[in-house]
Amino acid sequence: MRMIPDDFEPEEWERMVDRFADPGGESALYPETADNPRDLPCGTCGKPNRLTGKDKAQGYQCDQCADRAEGKPFGIGDY
């Protein structure tokens, strides 16, 4: 169970947890669930088990590729 950050209402946070693999973070990826396993390769870098079926349906790429596409050096996530 993840702690709820101070700047989110519990209900708001629950919605984000249902929708985002990294709620409150920068990732747009969906969380892995029994119905939506993270077992698909990234279409950009080809690394296995990076995307869920929903991610693929949205045309998402993995977090590393998304960061690179936004011009961020790997490993630096915060501005």
* Binding residues for Zn ion (CB under 5 A): 42, 44-45, 61-62, 65
The residue (of 45 and 57) whose beta carbon lies closer to Zn ion is 45
Min. distance of Cβ 27 from Zn ion in angstroms? 12
The residue (of 15 and 47) whose beta carbon lies closer to Zn ion is 47
The residue (of 4 and 40) whose beta carbon lies closer to Zn ion is 40
Q: Which stretches within 1-79 are classed as H helix?
A: 10-19, 53-57, 63-69
List CB contacts of 66: < 8 A, sequence separation 6 or more.
Answer: 26, 27, 28, 60
In the three-class reduction of DSSP (H, G, I as helix; E, B as strand; rest coil), residue 39 is classed as strand
